[in-house]
């Protein structure tokens, strides 16, 4: 079968059973792979209310039909689960090469359930799948774990593992692959830790069958032509990395700092893409087969690694009032070794800083105290002292101390590096994500509102944003299921993705079929969340963004006009006024399985 490998394996860590699942071609065609396949499994298999850290939860590693092909940015992997941070469905997506090697091992997906009686790791190879003892790895950081496993399983393998944060069930623990890349958000590392699963090691040499090689060749040529021509993918990202956005967003007045108390940062220059290039860059790098090369190989005194990426840079820097690039970079490296999501870590610490500043609760750390940042990250990973509270995420922490309004989260997950008071659509996007606060899953409206991709729209206007947001969410859900990088979409639209998918699989996908698949995936995720009790009341933003006007710059005086956009959004999506997909919407998308859910 072209595109997909035709193999799904289920591992029950409680019983040690490993078995092949029937490969349902219809499911893969409709849900594509990655995030889409994960959502389908979670809808089908999880009962409502299940504890995300219980053996019953599923952890699904999956790739897509384009993974490992010559399609642009197809070197990625995806993991899906029920989030211990938000209680929603979640998925996390990583770069590097893990996804490709996983597919070369001959798999499309690995469904993990249960809990091993002692620490284990999984070896997924083209020779078979094994559960192996990881007792000696438990307690080690991700660098040490990766080195030991590569020594054990061969240097051609790829390791995705958890660090101490995942072992200690930090609610925003990440899974780290190739030491520097992360399945970062939503606490996927904690779910892995709850299963006593230290790592998944992939190893394989199989190739992906392409249905129409000739067509694939010319569509790839056309796609790469655009990637090489577009200023963002050919210049901005390769030259300055993702932190190219720092100055752009700051000048627009949507670069939050001090836990979103400000919408600009007075020291932005010091943490900009230009500063990274000048001060710490060793060389640029990229994921498997990618021509964009946006990753930064960096060096600081006594240490070397990758990053910081834009969101990490912001979360551990300006949002905490910190502008020392060396400290931010060191904190980034530390998060990777401990296995923590940098964004939620930064968002939680900045919340603690504001609680201290306002005298609500003395968390022992204030804005700008970079010298304490590393210590706090370690406390979080090992749940020591105040770290035990902060490991729960900013919403639980702030609520415990009586001030939930200081948690800059949606559905309990910390927001990203864009202040939506200056980008109305992004505000709606944040509010309606299926995995909680996220700039990507909500539909990256910043592309249209600030970067002019494909056209610039009025960022201060609320009119029409509901429709735009829904379409971008659908496209994003499809791309996460293919599984490709969002950056490629600065240059490539659904027409190109449809053509690539058709060439690889031999199944005809019109551009609208790609968007419809995304619509289906977004809706089944929504139904999962509805089943868990989420509704319109949860599609909201922190009070600060709705009521406190932005204090400075071009965005000064603005708040997010959420309700107005939300009504249009529900209407466009075919949901009722409480945010529940209507039966006719579910039927239109072929989601009959959700009708009685």
Residue 30 lies near other proteins (rule: CB under 8 A): no
CB nearer to other proteins: give 151 or 214: 214
CB nearer to other proteins: give 216 or 440: 216
Phi-psi region of 78 (alpha: psi -120 to 50; beta: other; left: phi over 0): beta
Task: Give all strands of the β-sheet with 89-94 in edge-to-edge order.
Answer: 17-21, 8-12, 109-113, 59-62, 77-82, 89-94
Crossing angle of helices 465-482 and 494-505, rounded to 10°: 30
Residue 510 lies near other proteins (rule: CB under 8 A): yes
User: What is the number of H-type helices and E-type strands within the chain?
Assistant: 25, 17
Residue 454 lies near other proteins (rule: CB under 8 A): yes
Residue 468 lies near other proteins (rule: CB under 8 A): yes
Stretch that binds other proteins, among 107-115, 319-327, 352-360, 493-501 (CB under 8 A): 493-501
Residue 466 lies near other proteins (rule: CB under 8 A): yes
CB nearer to other proteins: give 471 or 546: 471
Residue 138 C-beta: closest distance to other proteins, Å = 48
Residue 475 C-beta: closest distance to other proteins, Å = 9
Residue 584 lies near other proteins (rule: CB under 8 A): no
Q: Are 1 and 25 in contact (CB under 8 A)?
A: yes
Residues 390-449 that bind other proteins (CB under 8 A): 448
Q: Which of 156, 225, 228, 400 binds other proteins (CB under 8 A)?
A: 225
Residue 499 lies near other proteins (rule: CB under 8 A): yes
Stretch that binds other proteins, among 18-26, 122-130, 190-198, 466-474 (CB under 8 A): 466-474
Stretch that binds other proteins, among 93-101, 145-153, 330-338, 511-519 (CB under 8 A): 511-519
Q: What does DSSP assign to residue 9?
A: E
Say how far apart CA 484 and CA 507 lie, in whole Å: 18
Sign of CA dihedral 133, 139, 141, 147: negative
CB nearer to other proteins: give 461 or 578: 461
Residue 218 C-beta: closest distance to other proteins, Å = 4
Q: Are 40 and 530 in contact (CB under 8 A)?
A: no
Q: Which of 6, 55, 364, 464 binds other proteins (CB under 8 A)?
A: 464
Q: Which of 568, 580, 581, 591 binds other proteins (CB under 8 A)?
A: 568
CB nearer to other proteins: give 310 or 569: 569
CA nearest neighbour of 103 among 10, 35, 5: 5
| Helix intervals (H) in 208-269 | 213-229, 231, 237-240, 245-251
- Rounded to the nearest angstrom, the gap between the alpha carbon of residue 470 and the centroid of all alpha carbons in its chain is 18
Q: Which of 291, 457, 507, 546 binds other proteins (CB under 8 A)?
A: 457
Contacts of 155 (CB under 8 A, 6+ apart): none
CB nearer to other proteins: give 160 or 496: 496
Q: Are 65 and 504 in contact (CB under 8 A)?
A: yes
CB nearer to other proteins: give 259 or 489: 489
Residues 244-263 that bind other proteins (CB under 8 A): none
Residue 507 lies near other proteins (rule: CB under 8 A): no
Residue 572 lies near other proteins (rule: CB under 8 A): yes
Say how far apart CA 31 and CA 27 lie, in whole Å: 6
Say how far apart CA 346 and CA 4 lie, in whole Å: 38
Residues 320-339 that bind other proteins (CB under 8 A): none
Stretch that binds other proteins, among 28-36, 128-136, 199-207, 495-503 (CB under 8 A): 495-503
Residue 159 C-beta: closest distance to other proteins, Å = 40
Crossing angle of helices 465-482 and 511-531, rounded to 10°: 100
Stretch that binds other proteins, among 26-34, 182-190, 214-222, 479-487 (CB under 8 A): 214-222
Residue 218 lies near other proteins (rule: CB under 8 A): yes
Q: Which two tokens stand for residue 121?
A: 């790791």
Contacts of 521 (CB under 8 A, 6+ apart): 31, 32, 35, 36, 39, 477, 478, 481
CB nearer to other proteins: give 215 or 279: 215
Say how far apart CA 170 and CA 182 lie, in whole Å: 15
3-state secondary structure at position 26: helix
- Point out which residues bind other proteins (CB under 8 A): 215, 218, 222, 225-226, 229, 448, 454-455, 457-458, 461, 463-464, 466-468, 471, 474, 495, 498-499, 510-513, 515, 567-569, 571-572
């Amino acid at each position: 079968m072209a595109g997909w490998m035709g193999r799904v394996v289920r591992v029950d860590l409680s019983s040690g059973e490993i078995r092949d699942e029937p490969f349902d071609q219809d499911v893969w065609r409709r849900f594509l792979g990655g995030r889409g396949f994960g959502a389908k499994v979670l809808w089908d298999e999880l009962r409502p209310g299940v504890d995300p850290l219980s053996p019953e939860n599923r952890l699904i590693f999956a790739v897509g039909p384009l993974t490992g092909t010559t399609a642009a940015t197809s070197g990625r992997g995806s993991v899906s689960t029920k989030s211990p941070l938000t209680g929603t469905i979640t998925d996390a997506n990583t770069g590097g090469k893990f996804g490709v090697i996983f597919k070369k091992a001959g798999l499309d997906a690995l469904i993990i359930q249960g809990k091993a009686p002692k620490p284990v790791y999984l070896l997924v190879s083209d020779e078979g799948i094994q559960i192996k003892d990881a007792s000696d790895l438990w307690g080690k950081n991700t660098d040490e774990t990766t080195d030991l496993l590569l020594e054990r399983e061969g240097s051609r393998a790829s390791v995705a593992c958890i660090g101490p944060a995942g072992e200690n069930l930090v609610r925003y623990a990440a899974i780290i692959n190739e030491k520097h890349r992360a399945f970062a958000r939503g606490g996927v590392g904690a779910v892995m830790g709850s299963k006593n699963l230290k790592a998944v090691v992939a190893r394989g040499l199989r190739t992906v069958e392409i249905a129409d090689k000739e067509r694939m060749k010319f569509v790839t040529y056309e796609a790469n032509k655009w990637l090489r021509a577009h200023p963002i993918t050919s210049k901005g990202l390769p030259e300055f990395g993702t932190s190219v956005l720092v100055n752009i967003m700051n000048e627009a007045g949507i670069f939050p700092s001090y836990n979103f108390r400000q919408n600009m940062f007075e020291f932005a220059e010091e943490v900009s893409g230009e500063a990274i290039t000048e001060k710490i860059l060793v060389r640029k790098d990229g994921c498997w087969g990618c021509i964009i090369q946006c990753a930064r190989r960096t060096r600081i005194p006594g240490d070397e690694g990758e990053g910081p990426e834009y969101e990490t840079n912001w979360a551990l820097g300006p949002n905490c009032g910190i502008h020392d690039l060396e400290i931010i970079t060191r904190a980034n490296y530390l998060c990777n070794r401990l296995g923590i999501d940098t964004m939620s870590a930064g968002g939680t610490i900045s919340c603690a800083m504001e609680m201290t500043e306002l005298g609500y609760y003395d968390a022992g750390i204030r804005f700008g105290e970079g010298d304490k940042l590393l210590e706090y990250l370690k406390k979080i990973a090992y749940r020591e002292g105040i770290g035990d509270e902060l490991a729960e995420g900013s919403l639980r922490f702030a609520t415990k101390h009586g001030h939930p309004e200081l948690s800059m989260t949606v559905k309990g997950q910390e927001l990203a590096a864009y202040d939506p008071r200056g980008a109305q659509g992004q505000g709606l996007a944040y509010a309606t994500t299926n995995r909680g606060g996220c700039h990507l899953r909500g539909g990256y409206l910043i592309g249209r509102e600030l970067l002019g991709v494909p056209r610039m729209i009025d960022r201060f206007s609320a009119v029409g944003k509901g429709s735009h947001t829904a379409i971008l969410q659908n496209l994003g859900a499809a791309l996460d299921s293919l599984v490709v990088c969002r950056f490629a979409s600065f240059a490539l639209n659904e027409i190109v993705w449809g053509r690539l998918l058709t060439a690889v699989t031999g199944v005809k996908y019109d551009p609208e079929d790609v968007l419809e698949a995304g619509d289906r995936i977004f809706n089944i995720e929504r139904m999962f969340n509805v089943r868990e009790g989420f509704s319109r009341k949860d599609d909201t933003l922190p009070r600060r963004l709705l009521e406190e006007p932005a204090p400075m710059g071009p965005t000064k005086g603005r708040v997010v006009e959420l309700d107005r956009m939300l009504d249009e959004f529900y209407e466009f999506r075919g949901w009722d006024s409480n945010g529940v997909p209507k039966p006719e919407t579910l039927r239109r998308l072929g989601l009959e399985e959700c009708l009685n859910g």
